[in-house]
Amino acid sequence: MNRPGLVLIVDDERDLRALVDFNLRQAGYETLHAGSGSEALSIAASHRPQIVVLDLNLPDMPGTEVCRRLRADPRTRGIAIVMLTARGTETDRVVGFELGADDYVTKPFSVRELVLRVDAILRRLQGGEPEPVLQRGPIALDRQAFTCRVDGSEVALTVLEFRLLGYLLEAPGRVRTRDDLLTHVWNASTELETRTIDTHIKRLRDKLGAAGEAIETVRGIGYRLR
């Protein structure tokens, strides 16, 4: 079982790791350190931290590749990831969320803000286990196995598409506004372009085939599962 509040800090800058470490420990967290991507993957698999604070600029591999491997490994798939980077464009944020990041902090950053974001993620993690399998009509979403099936046939989804579909399946008939989707699926502020949501909804519908028609557009508001 994971120890409460165990955070892995991944950054090749020793001073920055020390700064983040000090503030997280002051807030009551336990910490682990890694200065490279390969070291981070090894520590994450052996210690199973609840959260990884991950710099994208690492000496041996991009942080995006570390994120992808963490999400691909069943041992580390459930670890929350906060990306830490000097790149703060919308495209960079969308790529990070596509790969499965839970949050995104741009350098230079407020350490206090980072700690608050880690707090928010930990509260979500400790809020109780979600329903493991969501079955709505022909669509079955298994959150533990990270699989989606339509009429028994598996459909390959990205991490972001998986989270988007799960959020819609949790409350059939309820309208999910664009602000709701940005907050609960992208974990982003409402400043993110809403066309990003529309693009992902279209891709999701296409992948689900005929079952995708159940995702209904509520014009000017958002989406719901019929």
Token pair 């609960």 is found at 184
pLDDT in tens, the chain (226 residues): 344 589 999 999 999 999 999 999 988 899 999 999 999 999 999 999 999 999 988 999 999 899 999 988 988 988 999 988 776 566 666 777 777 788 888 888 888 888 888 887 887 776 655 667 888 889 999 877 778 999 999 998 887 888 899 999 988 888 999 888 887 787 665 555 667 888 899 999 999 999 999 999 999 899 999 8
Measured CA distances, 35 to 64, 86, 139, 170 (Å): 15, 17, 42, 39
Q: Kindly give the pairing relationship between strand 6-10 and strand 51-55.
A: parallel
What tens digit of pLDDT does each residue of 125-184 get?
766 556 678 888 899 998 777 789 999 999 988 878 888 999 999 888 889 998 888 877
- Domains in the chain, CATH or no CATH each: 6-125 (3.40.50.2300), 133-225 (1.10.10.10)
Query: Looking at the DSSP assignment, which residues form a beta bridge with residue 135?
Result: 140
